[in-house]
Every structure is written in C-alpha cells, then in structure tokens.
A and B are shown apart, each in its own frame.
Chain A
Amino acid sequence: MIWVETIINGMLLGGLYALVGLGLGYAFGIMRIVNVAQGDFIVAAAFIGVALVPWTPISPLLVIVPVAIISFIFGIILQRLMINRVLGQDQIPQILLTFGLAIVLRNGMVELFGANSQSIDAGELRFMGFELLGLRLGVLPVLILAIALALFTLLHLWMRHTRMGRIIRATADDFEVVQLTGVNYRRVYGIAMGVAMALSAVAGVLLAMRGSFTPYSGADRLLIAFEVVVIGGLGSFWGMFLGGMLLGVTQLVALKLDPSSGLMWGHLMFLLILFVSPNGIAGLMRR
C-alpha cells in the first residue's frame, strides 16, 4: 500500500513537473527558442508569490493569477526588447543571451532576498488531507495536479480553436510567410513568450507551495523542465505531461529507496529514456 501511495504521490508531483516543462516546451515548439533562464524565472515567480500571498483574498492558491499576469507582461517585454533582436538561423546567441539573463536574475535574487530557503504559505491547505480507497492523500497536491491538467487542457483548446491560437501555430510553421498575411511575427513571439512565462510562473508558485526554494533552485527547475520536454519528445504536448508523470514517480520512488539521492534517479531516468527512444515518449508511441 505504501508503494501505491508513493506512486500516486509521484503522479501528483509529476503533473506539476509537466507544468514546469510546459513553458519551456511551448516556447521551443513555437519559436525554436530555448530559454535557459526559465528555471530562474520560475524561482523569481515564486518570490513574487511570496510577496503577494498576504494580499490575496479567498485562498492563497489564487495568488497564481496576479503572478501569471505579471509574468505574461514580463515575457512580452523580454521577447520584444531582447530575444527578438538576436533571432536568426543560429540558436547560439539566444541561448547565451538567456544564459546571461539567468546569471543576473539568480544573483540578483540572492542579493535581494538572501540565500535562505523559503516557501509560499498555502495556509491550512497545506495540512488538509483525505482518505481515498484506503490511501491518504493531501488536498494541496491533488488541487495542484488539477490546476496543471486544467492549464494543459486550456492551452490545448486555446491553440486549436481560437484566432490567436491559429496565428501562433501558423507562425510556428513559417514565421516568414505569416507576414504575407499581415501578421507581425515579432508581436506573436512576444505573446507566445508571455504565455510560456505565465505557465512557468504558475508552476513556480505551485512548486513553492508544495516544497521550499532558494534563489539557487533555478538550476534544478531548469533541468526538470528540460527533461520533461526531452522525455515528452520535444514539443509534444501530452508527451510532456506523461514525461512529467514519469519523472515525478521516479523521483518519489527513488527517494523512498535511496533517501539521499536527490534528483539523481530522475536524471538517470532521463538518460534511460534518451537511450531507449531519442524522440521521447512521443517517439515511442509513433512506432
């Protein structure tokens, strides 16, 4: 029974990991941009969450709304002011640019908030639990999974069935030709980066509610995001969700067996998947 519980908890965590990867994978899928600063933005969003929670009415969970909005705007500004200026055939300038950004952000946060471990106070939600078929589950983790699933579904529907979603998909297909229909792809990229940032921000706040974080957590967050995207199969939507699940379960099971291993077994699982199927889960299913 303890194992079933561990696996279920792993899936609950995995949904959140999937969300961590979604922002990175979304930006990559549309703009072929790998935002190496994503992990540090996730942490920055958590700090904003810490600051805003005392003013959030009704439930501390709702703090994700203002944080997402702030991050959305920030993403647009980042893309239009910086990343759009280094777009080109070669990915290296974008990657190095965001790497520089990550360093500034990380050390800026250390400077501002100190290196101590923090977390977002989710209030009484943190201690609430319920029994299901003899399993003891936390309310917060289940809610977090529900939010992650809802965001995946919403994003999917938005991309499929709205005008903006269509424009974004067309821009992802061919950013040059999309101009011939009157679309300014730089603006579309801004919006896409805003969405990617908002998604990451929500993931960052939720991670900070489940556990703790320091200004240095960005590196681990980035690695998780990156593994989710690769395991999922580079840009495959639901592949990413499964990838997150797999990582979450691996990590919790490994921590039960080998408590001091940290993220090591998750990383090894990533290598294993890469070994078995270079195109991740999406590649496996296509076979």
Chain B
Amino acid sequence: MSLLEVENLDVRYGDFQAVNGVSLRLEEGQTVAIIGANGAGKSTLLKAISGLHPWRAGAIRFDGQDIAHQRADMITRAGMTLVPEGRRLFGSLSVEENLLMGQCSERKGPWSTDAVYKLFPRLGELRAVAGASLSGGQQQMVAIGRALMTNPKVLLCDELSLGLAPSIIGDIYRCFDTIRASGVSIVVIEQNVVQAVAAAGYAYCLLEGRVSLEGPTASLSMDAITAAYFGTGAAA
C-alpha cells in the first residue's frame, strides 16, 4: 500500500476545471515530481491534497486513511503538509517563531529548531530577524524548515525554485537527501523540469489538468517530457 494515493481527482477553481481525473501515488521514502507548464493545475492539485482547496470528485488516501474533505490542519496533524507557493512566511514573526509554529502539529519526530539550523546554518544566525525582511532564498529555507518542524511523513513542495537564483535553488535541492534520510517522502511541483527530474525518482507531467506522461525519471526521455509538457506530438 502506498503512503499517498490520489485517485481520479477532480478539482474546480471557480467555473474552471483545474484538475481533471488525476491519479498518482507516492511510496514511502520516494520523491515524486509533478511537472507542467504554468496553469497546468499543479498548484491546485497540491492545494487539494493538503486540504486547502475543496475538491469535487475522486479519492485521496494518506497512510491508509481516507482523508476526503478533511480540514488542512487535521491533515497536517496526520503527517502531511505543504510548503506553499511563494513561501508565505508569517511576516511579523521572527525566523525562530516561524519555525516554532511547526510544533503546533504536535507530532513527534527528528525535526527541531536545532535540526533545521543544522540543515540551513544561515538561518541560525537570522533566528531573531522578522520573516518579512529576509531574502527570497532565506524565506524559502524558513518555509521548508517550518514545514519540517511539523515532523511530516509527506512533504508537499510547491514551486520551491520560483524567483530564486540558480545557485540558491541548487543549495535547497541539495538538502533533499538529508530530508529524505529523516524518513520524509516528498512531492515536488516544478516548472523547472531539469531540476525536478534530477531530484525525483518518479515524475508525472500535467497538461491542462490531466496526467499527460508518467514514469520513473530514469526511463523518461527529454523529448517525451517536452512533448508531454507542451502537448505537442505523440506523448502517449
């Protein structure tokens, strides 16, 4: 049984069907990437899985439990949380306070403020600084740290690389090994295909709300991905 199973999920965004019959699975210890162009429905899919956005039809099972229409805070407490698009730190809270918010999940596990500072040494020096005055890369680290502080089994990451310099993106993705080693399974969303494919063992490509291609990253050719990404040629 997979850790996370999504079956035939339909999500609407107003009158717009953003996600259309998407199925995916995540095994324990695995990293899965969801790639797709802007507007392919990636963010909406993750928001639905994390409980932030209601969905219409389908099923989501997490850790053997049906989590249909549970509130986002309950899903977080059950061990699955999201690093939201655009970081969204608590601007008036300091770095340390932002991290401490993660403890509200009341889950036991390896992650503490010290562990996060070990992962991102730069944050230790900035612990008293307000979240709003950090650089983009630092904010992303705090956002990941805050999510890790909930001691999740599954970490959903929405566009980690958005608006960041390539060297910083590299730094952040390098931490994935440590995070995985602590027993966290990861789903990443990326527009940046190369980055995502390098980080994940399995990838799904979304096109206009549907899965247009999936498979182990080792077996996916760049041509097939490009075709599935833009919807050109015979991807299937």
Q: Residues of A at under 8 Å CB distance from B? A: 163, 166-167, 169-170, 172-174, 176-185
Contact = CB atoms under 8 A, between A and B. Distances in A.
A182 B92 contact: no
Contact of A174 (B71, B88, B104, B105): B88
A170 B105 contact: no
B51 A181 contact: no
Interface string B69-105: 0011110110001101000101111000110111111
Contacts of B91: 173-174
B134 to A, nearest CB: 14
Contact of B82 (A163, A166, A180): A180
Interface in B210-227: none
Interface centre among B92, B104, B150 (most CB of A within 10 A): B104
Interface of B: 50-52, 71-74, 76-77, 81-82, 84, 88, 90-93, 97-98, 100-107, 146-147, 149-150
Given A167-B101, A177-B84, A179-B51, A184 B90 contact: no
Majority SS at the chain A contact face: helix
Given A166-B100, A167-B101, A180 B90 contact: no
Contacts of B90: 169-170, 173-174, 177-178
A256 to B, nearest CB: 42
A221 B73 CA distance: 38
Nearest to A167: B104
Contact of A169 (B88, B92, B146): B92
Nearest to A187: B73
Given A170-B90, A177-B88, A182 B100 contact: no
B35 to A, nearest CB: 23
A170 B101 contact: yes
B93 A181 contact: no
Contacts of A173: 90-93
A182 B93 contact: no
A51 B180 CA distance: 62
B97 A180 contact: no
30 contacts: A163-B100, A166-B97, A167-B101, A167-B104, A169-B93, A170-B90, A172-B92, A173-B92, A173-B93, A174-B88, A174-B91, A177-B90, A179-B52, A179-B73, A180-B50, A180-B72, A180-B84, A180-B150, A181-B76, A181-B149, A182-B73, A182-B76, A182-B77, A182-B102, A182-B107, A182-B150, A183-B73, A183-B104, A184-B71, A185-B73
